[in-house]
Amino acid sequence: ELKKAKDCIAGHTILEMESSDAQASFFADQELLENEILTIEEQLGMIEKVTVADLSRVARDIFQPAKLNMALIGPFKEKSKFDRLLSS
């Protein structure tokens, strides 16, 4: 799955860079947001280096049980069913 995702990002990025205005936007965004400009090849190389361990580490940092929230829409009778989902 990780390889598929990397291939999808690479393919999308390469196709997206076919127009000169997309390239200008790509490099302008980097200059404004990152203060560093990487080539498309450098960015794709960084993406290629991402491992399953990297994804797991970031997921553990983002999805912490103490920080989970849930929004419910519609009538329900037993609040306890949903409380269990958040506490597990």
Q: What is the pTM assigned to this prediction?
A: 0.65
Is 56 inside any structural domain?
A: yes
For 5-31, what is the mean pLDDT? 93
Q: Distance (Å, rounded) from C-alpha 26 to C-alpha 58?
A: 25
Say how many CA atoms lie within 13 Å of 66 toward its Cβ.
1
pLDDT digits (tens, 9 = 90+) for 58-88: 999 998 878 877 787 878 777 787 777 767 6
Residue 72 located in a structural domain? no
Scan for tokens 């609040």, then name that residue: 79
Instruction: Residue 52: name the closest of 6, 12, 14, 9 by CA.
Output: 6
Share above pLDDT 90 across residues of the chain, in percent, rounded to a whole number:
65
pLDDT the model gives residue 24: 93
In a domain, 73, yes or no: no
Contact (Cβ atoms closer than 8 angstroms) between residue 52 and residue 11 = no
Residues 8-17 pLDDT 10s: 999 999 999 9
Residue numbers of the domain that contains 31:
2-63
The number of distinct structural domains making up the chain is: 1
